[in-house]
Amino acid sequence: MDSTFLVDLLQDIPGASQYELLSLSESGNYEILKQIDNFNIIRGDWEILRKAAYVRRVVKILGVAEEMDALSGVTLPSGTFYARFQDYGNCHDSSIEPKLGDILGGRGRVSFRNPDFVIRAYHLDKWYIGIELFTGIGKELLSRRAPMRPFFSPISIHPRHARFMVNISGTSEGETVLDPFCGTGGILLEAGLLGRKVLGNDWSLQMSSGAKLNLKYFGIRDYVIYNEDFLKLELDESVSAIVTDFPYGKNSRLSQKNLENLYGESFRRFHELLPEGRRAVVVVSERKMLDLSDKYFSILKVFEFRVHRSLTRYFAVLKRK
């Protein structure tokens, strides 16, 4: 019988973490058995989730019970451990952790300093208990935030958002991802670390040069960066997906009218570059801008992310008609 796992998802952009989990299941070898808010029970090979932007924790399930006391039948591996507990219904708190340790036969085996493994217990629709296998890539992503790069801009997209966008782009290792407005290269960086070949472009020589510097710094070698007007850019190779954060608002040198023209012409160009059925994953700051893609793309999903009171960003997954 295949093992089952409890996946605890981070919540940032509403709906994004669940969509990423579903997207990764298409290229991974697991199925989602049940969703309970930001928790999912899956069966199969979970290893691809090491690449996820929004996975907080993966726990191998050892036992499921209606009542906590029934967990006494769970057999733990040999070695020392400590237990941590989370209650979705808020009817228990962490004070039950010592009792949980006793139920599991932990007397004389508990070690907080150097445990052989960590036990995680969750009270959701039932009681779930298991061994913690993975705790997400949060620290890794923080190490690639804009200020940590050799060249940065304060408006660079967060690495977690960039990785999410690549993960939902419908691409696999070895395929080519294009960012036509690459800025300092944040999206290309995550794509390259995920094994994609990356193509980038920015009309600013400073930005395109800075993107090259950042990619080299983080060990990305399979890339090409252009410094052109994207609408006139000619590529020598095919593209598997387009992933980009469009220029917007005060962060763009263009007027509103010119921005709309840029977006509309860009969607037309995306359509020319992408094979039928392939995806463009884009970020815009005005929902209406996505209407400019209607002639060329079907909108599969839009996620709304409120940055602050005066700025909302929309992450959209588009499928080439």
Query: Which of the two residues, 180 and 99, has the higher pLDDT score?
Result: 180
Q: What is the mean pLDDT of the chain?
A: 93
CA distance linking residue 103 with residue 85, whole number of Å: 13
pLDDT 10s digits, 115-154:
999 999 999 999 999 999 999 999 999 999 999 999 988 8
Confidence grade of residue 108 (pLDDT, cut at 50, 70, 90): confident
Q: What is the 3-state secondary structure (H, E, C) of 66-80?
A: CCHHHHHHCCCCCCC
Confidence grade of residue 107 (pLDDT, cut at 50, 70, 90): confident
Size of the chain, expressed as the number of residues it contains: 321
CA distance linking residue 237 with residue 295, whole number of Å: 24
Most confident of 93-102, 292-301, 307-316: 292-301
pLDDT at 255 over 90: no
pLDDT at 319 over 80: yes
CA distance linking residue 124 with residue 299, whole number of Å: 34
SS3 category, 27: helix
Q: Domains in the chain, start-ordered, CATH in brackets? A: 4-134 (3.30.2130.30), 139-320 (3.40.50.150)
**Helix 186-193, helix 205-217: angle, nearest 10:** 30
CA distance linking residue 163 with residue 179, whole number of Å: 13
Do the Cβ atoms of 27 and 21 come closer than 8 Å? no
Q: In this predicted structure, what is the pLDDT of residue 208?
A: 97
For residue 85, which of 118, 121, 111 has the smallest C-alpha distance? 121
Confidence grade of residue 40 (pLDDT, cut at 50, 70, 90): very high
Confidence grade of residue 249 (pLDDT, cut at 50, 70, 90): low
pLDDT at 248 over 80: no
Instruction: Give the pLDDT mean for 266-295.
Output: 97
pLDDT at 318 over 90: yes
Q: Which burial class, exposed, middle or buried, applies to 232 when counting CB atoms under 10 A from its CB (0-12, 13-18, 19+)?
A: exposed
Confidence grade of residue 28 (pLDDT, cut at 50, 70, 90): confident
pLDDT at 1 over 60: no
Q: Burial letters for 122-157: b for 16+ Cβ neighbours within 10 Å, e otherwise?
A: bbbeebbbbbbbbebbeeebeebebeebebbbeebb
Q: In this predicted structure, what is the pLDDT of residue 252?
A: 59
Residue with tokens 């019988």: 1
pLDDT at 63 over 60: yes
Helix, strand and coil content of the chain, in percent to the nearest 5, comes to 30, 30, 35
pLDDT at 205 over 70: yes
CA distance linking residue 30 with residue 20, whole number of Å: 13
Q: How do beta strands 55-65 and 127-134 pair?
A: antiparallel
Q: What sign for the dihedral angle of Cα 37, 39, 41, 47?
A: positive
Tokens standing for 111?
Answer: 């070690």
Do the Cβ atoms of 259 and 247 come closer than 8 Å? yes
Do the Cβ atoms of 247 and 180 come closer than 8 Å? no
Q: What amino acid occupies position 275?
A: P
Tokens standing for 195?
Answer: 């094994």
Percent share of the chain, pLDDT over 70: 96
CA distance linking residue 94 with residue 107, whole number of Å: 18
pTM of the model: 0.94
